Structure 1
Amino acid sequence: MTFTAPPRRAGWIERPDARIRYEMTGEGPAIVFAHGLGGNLMSWWQQVAHFATRYTCVAFSHRGFFPSTAPEAGPDPAAYAADLAALVDELGLGDIRIVCQSMGGWTGVEYALLRPGRVKALVLGATTGSLDPRQMREPERSRLEPWKQESAAARAGLLARNINPAAGARMAEEQPALHHLYNHIYGLTQGFDREAVRGRLDAQRRRAPEGFAAAQCSVLFVPSEEDIVLPPFAGAAMASVIPGAKVVPLPRAGHSGHFERAAEFNAIVDAFFAEVGA
C-alpha cells in the first residue's frame, strides 16, 4: 500500500498591527497548538505528525515569534486571544480543541473564556495560563514562594552549564540532539526582550482558578514533573476547584515535556480527547 502524507498548507493572518503565520496539516476536527515563550509553530512537529492523520492540525506562531511579526514595542500577550479568534474565524475552524504549552496557556485560557462553550477540549501542558497560582488553595499556595527560590537557583545553574532551562537538564543529557534542535527553534525568534514578555504574562496572571468554570470546556492539566520554569504542582491544585478538570502529570520531563517526551504527551492527549468525545 502506498503511503500518502496528510495535506498541508500555510499562510498568514493579517491583524491591524501584526502578521500571524500558520500551518494547517491533515483533515478532520480541528486542533490548534499554542506554543510557549521559547518556541514557535515548529515546536509542535511531533504533535502534528501524530495527530494529522485524524485531525486538522493548526500550528501558529504568536505575534513577534518567528516568522510572525509584532508592533515595534514587541508582543503583548493581551492580544493573543484575539489573534487566535481571528485565526479560527478566517480558517473557518468552528469549535476547536486547543493544546497549549507554557506561554500558550495564556492564549488558550483567555480564548476559552472569550468564547464560552466553543472549545471542545483544552490541554494545558506545563502551564496554568492566566489562572493565578497565588490564588490556589492551601497547602499548595504556601509551597509557591519556596519553589520560586529553588527554581531560580536551578535555572541559574543550568544557564551556567549552557543548558536552556526551558528544555531542562534531562533533555540536554539524555537527548542532546533534541536539546540542540530546541535551541535552534528558540533562536529563530529575535528582536525583542523575552523577559519583558515574561513580565507582561505575569501581570496578566490574575484569574482565580474557580473562574475558569465560565469557559464551559473540558480542561486537562499536564504538568511536567521536573519543571523549573512554572510550578508543576499548580495544575493539580487548580483541577480540584474546576468542575470536570483533570490532571495527568508527565514524569521524567522538564518544562517542555511535549518536546522531550512527545510519545507520552501525545498518548495523554489522545486519551483525554477520547474521554471527553473531542
Structure 2
Amino acid sequence: MISRDMPQRIVGRLQRPFGDLHYEASGSGPALLFAHGLGGNHLSWWQQVAHFAPHYTCVAFAHRGFAPSAAVAGGPDPADYAGDLAALIDHLKFSDVRLVGQSMGGWTMLEYAIAQPARVKALVLSSTSGTLDRRGCDPTGGKQYDAWLKDAEAKLKNGAARSIHPAVGVRAAERSPALHLLYRSIDEMAGPLDKEKLRAGLRRAANRRTAELKSFKVPTLLIAGGEDVVFPPFLASAIAATLPCGESALMPDAGHSPYFEQAATFNGLVEAFLARQR
C-alpha cells in the first residue's frame, strides 16, 4: 500500500479588537490565502485547500461576524476586512502572499493588495470586482450591465421560487445537488448575521474606478462563471483589460461559485496562473 503523509494543519484564533478571527493553515510552501464570499466561511475552500496544500501553505479564514469567528455587534463593516487580513498575514509571519478572493472576499483581497502591493505576488478575483464600482467598469457606459441586471433579476426570482441558492444557480444545483446542499449548509453556519445589511454595506464600499488602478502592478486573474446571476461575467475581461498585469478566464457553464461548482477546472486555472508568477 502506498502511503502519503497528510499536509500539516493548524487551527488558530487571532485576537482582534472585535473578538477572535478563526483561521486554518494547511500544508507548506509559499503562502496562499483564501477569502470567502457572503454565503461561506473558511470551509468553503475545502476543494482548494486539499488541492494546493501539498505545495503551498494554504490559509482559509472566516471573516469577522461569520462563525466560527466572533460575532460583531451591529454586524461587520467590510471596511475592516483588509485590516483583519493584514493582521493575520503579520501574525503568520508571511513575507509575501498569493491571494484568492471569492465574491465578498474580493473586497478583502483587492483592498489589501492595493495597500500592500509589494507583498502580493498574485491576486485571483473569482466572481467579483471587489471594491470597484461594477457599473462603472462596464465599457459600454452601463448599457450591457443594465441589460444583464434585468435578466439576472428574473433568473434570481425563478431560482428563489425553487429554493435554489443564488450563489450556486439553477443549472449547477441540478447537476450537483449534493454540492448545492453542502453550500447551503455552510451558508447557514453564519446564524443570525444580517446578510442583507452586510450586502448593502458592500455595495456602498464598491466605489473605486479602474482609473485608480493604472499603476497597480500586482498580477491579477479574474475568473468568472458564464451562468453567474450575481456578478456580471463580462466584467472579468473588461476589468482585466484595464489593469497593467491583468488577465481573465471564463468558465462558461459555471454560476457564481466556480471554485465550488467546478473545482478541478478552477484549481487548474489558479495553479497555472500562480506558476507564471514565480
The two structures have a TM-score, normalised by structure 1, of 0.97
2:19 corresponds to 1:18 = yes
Which range is displaced more, 139-148 or 26-35?
Answer: 139-148
Q: 1:88-132 deviations in whole A, cap 9, x for unaligned? A: 001112210001110000001100011122110000010110011
Shift of 1:134: 2.2
Which range is displaced more, 67-76 or 48-57?
Answer: 67-76
Contact 2:215 2:244 in 1 (8 A): no
Query: Which residue matches 2:117?
Result: 116
Query: Which residue matches 2:41?
Result: 40
State how far apart, in whole Å, the 1-side matches of 2:260 and 2:151 are. 24
2:30 corresponds to 1:29 = yes
Query: Which residue matches 2:102?
Result: 101
Question: Residues 140 and 175 of structure 1: is their aligned pair in 2 closer, same or farther, counting only changes over 3 Å?
Answer: farther
Superposed counterparts of 1:50-89, under 5 Å:
50-89=51-90
State how far apart, in whole Å, the 2-side matches of 1:87 and 1:73 are. 23
Q: 1:171-225 deviations in whole A, cap 9, x for unaligned? A: 2101111111111101111122101111100001011113224443100000111
In structure 1, the residue corresponding to 2:191 is in which secondary structure? Answer: coil
State how far apart, in whole Å, the 1-side matches of 2:211 and 2:119 are. 19
Shift of 1:140: 6.3
Contact 1:115 1:215 in 2 (8 A): no
Q: CA RMSD in A?
A: 1.2
State how far apart, in whole Å, the 1-side matches of 2:126 and 2:194 are. 24
Contact 1:220 1:246 in 2 (8 A): yes
State how far apart, in whole Å, the 2-side matches of 1:110 and 1:136 are. 17
Q: Percent identity?
A: 47
Unaligned runs of 5+ in 1: none
Query: Which residue matches 1:148?
Result: 149
Query: Which residue matches 2:202?
Result: 201
Q: 1:29-67 deviations in whole A, cap 9, x for unaligned? A: 000000000000000000000000000000000001121
State how far apart, in whole Å, the 2-side matches of 1:82 and 1:53 are. 28
State how far apart, in whole Å, the 2-side matches of 1:180 and 1:137 are. 34
In structure 2, the residue corresponding to 1:249 is in which secondary structure? Answer: strand
Contact 2:217 2:245 in 1 (8 A): no
State how far apart, in whole Å, the 1-side matches of 2:215 and 2:184 are. 37
Which range is displaced more, 137-146 or 89-98?
Answer: 137-146
State how far apart, in whole Å, the 1-side matches of 2:82 and 2:34 are. 13
Unaligned runs of 5+ in 2: none
Query: How many equivalent residue pairs?
Result: 277
Contact 1:28 1:54 in 2 (8 A): yes
Shift of 1:170: 1.6
Contact 1:102 1:126 in 2 (8 A): yes
The two structures have a TM-score, normalised by structure 2, of 0.97
What is the letter of the counterpart of residue 61 of structure 1? A
Which range is displaced more, 138-147 or 232-241?
Answer: 138-147
